[in-house]
Amino acid sequence: MQATRLANGVRVLSEPLPDLTSTTVGIWVENGSRYERAEQAGISHFLEHLFFKGTARRSAAQIAQEIDAVGGVLNAFTGKEYTCYYAKVLREHLPLALDLLADIFTQSTFAAEEIERERSVIVQEISQVEDTPDDYVHELFNLAFWPGHPLSRPIAGTAETVSRLGREDFLRFLEARYRPDRVLIAAAGALTHDALLAVADRQFGALAGSAAGVDGGPPEPRAGVSVHEKRLEQVHLCLGAPGIAQNDADRYPAHVVNLALGGGMSSRLFQEIRERRGKAYTVYSFLSSYCDAGYTGVYVGTSAEWTREVVEVIRDELARVTRDGLAPDELLRAKNQMKGSLLLGLETSDSRMSRIAKNEIYFGRDVPLEEVAAGIDAVTNDDVLRVSRRLFRPDALALTVLGDLKGHALGDEVLAS
Q: Residue 76: which of 112, 32, 27 has the closest Cα?
A: 27
Are 319 and 241 spatial neighbours (Cβ–Cβ below 8 Å)? no
- Write out the DSSP string of 267-303: SHHIIIIIIIT---S-EEEEEEE-SS-EEEEEEEEE-
387 Rama sector, left if φ>0, alpha if ψ -120 to 50, beta otherwise: alpha
Name the active-site residue from 30, 36, 48, 360.
Answer: 48
In angstroms, rounded to a whole number, what is the distance separating the alpha carbons of residues 81 and 205? 24
183-189/73-78 β-pairing: unpaired
- The verdict on whether 305 is a catalytic residue reads no
Write the DSSP symbol of residue 397: -
- Which are the contacts of 108, defined by CB distance < 8 A and separation ≥ 6? 50, 51, 53, 54, 55
CA triplet 57, 63, 68: central angle to 5 degrees? 145
- Where do the DSSP E strands lie in 47-155? 73-78, 83-90
Active site residues: 48
